[in-house]
């Protein structure tokens, strides 16, 4: 419990010359919400009508005792403790600290740590979802202490929980060289025009990566393997295969990927559209079999995993198994 003797209440008409102990907010529904008086503002006579308009008939003067913190100081210490790589902090604003991204990248949030912090009374920590793509300046999280004055021991507990751990960070996207193998006799023999290439290139370009070469091959396991081997020798960062990922017996791409991989993370996902996505590795080189939905759906399982692949963020089978929850994007 906060000792009320640390708060001295003064009628606003008698407050001229006193210093505000916290930010004051004005709200006009549908028009405005924000700070109109900043902590540290010395109240002037002309401020009194505006203070009364926002419902402030009294102000408080603080005398914070040892072992307690002002809400701004508590929020700042909590923000500083959770901020990892490429995370910036703004100044206190209405008792809150906002954390933003320094770069264009992939947000990594430790949900377990966030929940542990929020189990400490009078502390509030809200974040974006894990694995969100953010631009420079994009908002990541907000921290605050709920009372105006909070016991320092509570902030100490939060800092101890976070010591040596990463609660939130932003991973940079690697500018990757991608080798693209397009399978299918219909494209290889020129019966139809390839439509995968332009789509894949556009998605990669958004993240600063590019297809260094696209090669075409019929539905033949040995020939597909040969093209994968070609790109491995070229030392590309990622190999992607389009076409031949359906359940049709004529589609041989998954067999070739398996035979050329040292590890298969998954063949298939519960994400819709894009359930036929395949993720594998040849040592450290990702090999992706792209689902047919990439051709006609704006957002598929490929869009879910691509930022993580480009940020060199490992994907586990357990994560794939859990990806059906929230993984329906319409199809």
Give the largest Cα separation in the chain, rounded.
88
Same domain, 246 and 263: yes
- Report yes or no on 265 lying in a domain: yes
CATH number at 84 reads 3.90.1170.30
Same domain, 308 and 190: yes
Domain boundary among 172, 199, 214: 172
* Predicted local distance difference test score (pLDDT) of residue 278: 96
pLDDT by position in tens, the chain (length 331) = 455 667 777 787 877 766 677 777 878 787 777 778 777 677 788 888 888 888 888 777 766 788 999 888 899 999 999 999 999 999 888 789 999 999 999 999 999 999 999 999 999 999 999 999 999 999 999 999 998 889 999 999 999 999 999 999 999 999 999 999 999 878 878 788 999 999 999 999 999 999 999 999 998 999 999 999 999 999 999 999 998 776 565 568 999 999 999 999 999 999 999 999 999 999 999 999 999 999 999 999 999 999 999 999 999 999 999 999 999 998 6
- Report yes or no on 329 lying in a domain: no
CA distance 214 to 241: 10
Same domain, 186 and 315: yes
- Report yes or no on 86 lying in a domain: yes
Domain boundary among 172, 196, 231: 172
Residues pairing with 182 in the sheet: 216, 242
Same domain, 207 and 300: yes
DSSP-based three-state secondary structure for 322 = helix
CA distance 40 to 24: 11
CA distance 129 to 56: 37
Give DSSP secondary structure letters for 180-235. Answer: EEEE-HHHHTTSS---HHHHHHHHHHHTT-EEEEEEEE-S-HHHHHHHHHHHHHTT
Interhelix angle 71-82/111-118, rounded to 10 degrees, is 160
Q: Do 24 and 42 contact (CB within 8 A), yes or no?
A: no
For the chain, where are the E strands, in sequence order? 7-11, 24-28, 32-37, 58-62, 68-70, 87-89, 96-101, 105-109, 123-127, 133-134, 139-145, 149-151, 168-172, 177-183, 210-217, 238-242, 263-267, 278-282, 285-290
Same domain, 38 and 160: no
- Report yes or no on 331 lying in a domain: no
* Predicted local distance difference test score (pLDDT) of residue 127: 98
Q: Do 278 and 288 contact (CB within 8 A), yes or no?
A: yes
DSSP-based three-state secondary structure for 330 = coil
- How many domains does the structure of the chain reveal? 3
Domain boundary among 137, 172, 207: 172
* Predicted local distance difference test score (pLDDT) of residue 246: 66
Same domain, 181 and 167: no
CA distance 83 to 188: 50
Pairing of strands 58-62, 68-70: unpaired
- Report yes or no on 188 lying in a domain: yes
Q: Which residues contact 231 (CB under 8 A, 6 or more apart)?
A: 179, 181, 213, 215, 239
* Predicted local distance difference test score (pLDDT) of residue 237: 98
Query: For the whole model, what pTM was predicted?
Result: 0.84
The Cα angle at residue 267 between residues 264 and 273, in degrees rounded to 5 = 140
Same domain, 45 and 87: no
Same domain, 27 and 53: yes
Q: Do 135 and 206 contact (CB within 8 A), yes or no?
A: no
Same domain, 151 and 181: no
Tell me the residue range of the domain where 214 lies: 177-322
């Amino acid at each position: 419990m906060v000792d009320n003797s640390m708060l001295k209440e003064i009628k606003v008409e008698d407050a001229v010359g006193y210093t505000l102990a916290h930010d004051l907010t004005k709200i006009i529904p549908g028009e405005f919400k924000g700070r109109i008086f900043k902590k540290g503002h010395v109240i002037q006579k002309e401020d009194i009508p505006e203070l009364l308009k926002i419902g402030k008939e009294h102000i408080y003067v603080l005398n914070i005792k040892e072992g307690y913190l002002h809400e701004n100081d508590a929020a700042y210490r909590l923000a500083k403790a959770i901020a990892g790589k490429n995370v910036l902090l703004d100044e206190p604003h209405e008792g809150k600290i906002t954390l933003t991204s320094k770069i264009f990248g992939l947000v990594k949030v430790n949900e377990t740590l966030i929940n542990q912090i929020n189990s400490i009374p009078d502390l509030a920590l809200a974040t974006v979802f894990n694995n969100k793509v953010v631009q420079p300046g994009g908002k990541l999280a907000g921290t605050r202490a709920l009372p105006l004055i909070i016991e320092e021991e509570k902030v100490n507990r939060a800092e101890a929980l976070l010591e040596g751990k990463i609660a939130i960070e932003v991973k940079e996207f690697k500018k990757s060289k991608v080798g693209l193998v397009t399978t299918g006799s219909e494209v290889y023999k020129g019966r139809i025009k390839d439509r995968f290439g332009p789509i894949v290139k556009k998605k990669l370009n958004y993240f600063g990566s590019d297809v260094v070469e696209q090669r075409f091959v019929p539905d033949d396991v040995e020939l597909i393997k040969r093209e994968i081997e070609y790109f491995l020798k070229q030392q590309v960062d990622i190999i992607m295969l389009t076409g031949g990922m359906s359940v049709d017996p004529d589609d041989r791409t998954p067999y070739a990927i398996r035979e050329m991989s040292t590890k298969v993370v998954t063949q298939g996902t519960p994400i819709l559209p894009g359930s036929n996505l395949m993720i594998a590795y040849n040592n450290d080189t990702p090999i992706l079999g792209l689902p047919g939905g990439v051709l006609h759906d704006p957002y598929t399982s490929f869009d879910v995993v691509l930022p993580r692949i480009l940020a060199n963020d490992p994907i586990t089978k357990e994560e794939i198994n859990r990806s059906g929850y929230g993984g329906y994007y319409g199809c």
